[in-house]
Amino acid sequence: MPQNEVVASLVVVASAILMISFWRQILFMLLFAAIVVFCFGLYNVASAVHG
């Protein structure tokens, strides 16, 4: 395998690993935001019922 193909394949593998970890962080942040919004809505409903 020529050297430029080795470098290109390493770049592709590294970018794939970075994208996978980046999507994991995005999914975690979306899940956290959904939980926060759900709890905030639940708090508003509870305060409206008790208020």
| 5: its two tokens | 């193909």
Tens-place pLDDT, residues 27-42 = 999 999 999 999 999 9
Structure tokens at 38: 């759900």
> Which pLDDT band, with edges at 50, 70 and 90, does 1 fall under?
low
- Residue 17 CB-half CA count within 13 A: 6
Rounded to the nearest integer, the mean pLDDT of the chain is: 91
Type of residue found at 1 = M
- pLDDT the model gives residue 4: 85
H-helix or E-strand spanning residue 1: none
Residue 28: what residue type?
A: F
Give the separation between CA 17 and CA 29, rounded to whole angstroms: 19
pTM: 0.55
User: What share of the chain has pLDDT > 90, as a percent?
Assistant: 71
> What per-residue confidence (pLDDT) applies to 24?
86
